[in-house]
Chains A and B, each alone.
Chain A
């Protein structure tokens, strides 16, 4: 694996260098169009498959729940375990929740078209979303969703090219809506603290990048649209 890692790293560096040094020869336009079309078709097919698989997972979750409910009716021992299970499900984000909270709206600003400014500071990056979410957790948020995607214990954010992906390759596109359940005042005060999100707030002033929030007495966050698999971690003892 060390060899693989070295090869990966070396390829990464060499390719990066090559890409900065050379311009690729343009393909014949017909080939290029065919390749572009094939790539986009693959994305559409895989996205359809992704939706179908999530629907299958959700249908199976409903069947499992029905089996558990029936089992709990038959056995008091099962009933006790199931009460604990429901508690952990709520914590894990497998159940929809509602309550008071805060809605945060975020959108790209205006491209300054300035050759001296190539920072892309006018766009919303996944790190901005993650900074906001981290601050919400720090201020007592009990549940968070972004554009209808529940943030669960295993959620990670990353770029696939220009795409922001979370939770099983869900593509997030702007404008972004972050919904947090919790005490609206505490959450709003956390975001309003001038020491927090200082860089994002400064970009909001410079580039007109949209950052605002609204308190609500009733908001809802959906359940996570898949489930969890643990293959390597084992209970201790």
Chain B
């Protein structure tokens, strides 16, 4: 019974949070359309909605930084324990290598996420904004029509053609994103609501998506290590 009640409270809290974000975003859209004051970028001269949204983002970022610190702390302990015991922990280093390969898109991955089908073509800024929202909602790996994407993958419109990493992609667009579906879905829904005035968007949750494409990292030719 207590679990059931806690569950109900948690659901209610989630509902409140989502409603508040919806409320803030509703005002924000109007604000951006109407307000010439939208260029006041010093904190003192900002409207309260902007400040409230900034608080929301700072809270989220700080929570992520706390989690990063906890993971690094654990990694450091693991390395130190092995060193104290007179050895070396290859496993901790291999785990970090794997994480970076996933982040850099240089290794195939699988996991829960969303598959978003867009029955029409998008302009570069529309795709950028969809990716911005999904990354901010914790999207970890992306592929579009079988092409792996990270933030350094160029997205450029040339006329009505969408070029991803210099290669043309055509409709229908199928975007696979791995991450927590609970977080990704509201972000995808909001983006879809603006796209759907023009193109049909179908969002499906997947318990296990595979992204087998990888990015061939370009060797550094001009850039060198160090400041």
Contacts and interface: CB of A to CB of B under 8 A. Distances in A.
A12 to B, nearest CB: 4
SS class, residues of chain B in contact with chain A: helix
B79 A68 contact: yes
A15 B27 contact: yes
B22 A9 contact: yes
A212 interface: no
B61 A161 contact: no
A43 B48 contact: no
Interface residues of A, number: 119
Contacts of B225: 90, 95-97
B68 A227 contact: yes
Contacts of A78: 88-90, 93
Given A12-B26, A169-B57, A75 B88 contact: yes
Contact of A98 (B93, B193, B227): B227
A162 B40 contact: yes
**B: interface residue count bin:** 35 or more
A235 B27 CA distance: 41
A97 B25 contact: no
B149 to A, nearest CB: 9
Contact of A92 (B19, B30, B104, B132): B104
Contacts of A84: 97
B7 interface: no
Given A99-B223, A156-B151, A9 B30 contact: no
B79 A67 contact: yes
B101 A88 contact: yes
Given A77-B90, A228-B100, A236-B107, 15 more contacts: A39-B52, A40-B43, A43-B51, A44-B43, A49-B62, A50-B62, A75-B88, A85-B97, A92-B104, A134-B156, A142-B221, A228-B103, A230-B140, A234-B109, A235-B98
Interface of A: 1, 3-5, 7-20, 35-36, 39-40, 42-44, 46-47, 49-50, 53-54, 56-57, 60-61, 63-64, 67-68, 70-72, 74-75, 77-78, 81-82, 84-85, 88-92, 94-101, 108, 111, 118, 120, 123, 127, 130-131, 134-135, 137-138, 140-144, 151-163, 165, 168-169, 171, 173-174, 181-183, 195-196, 220-222, 226-237
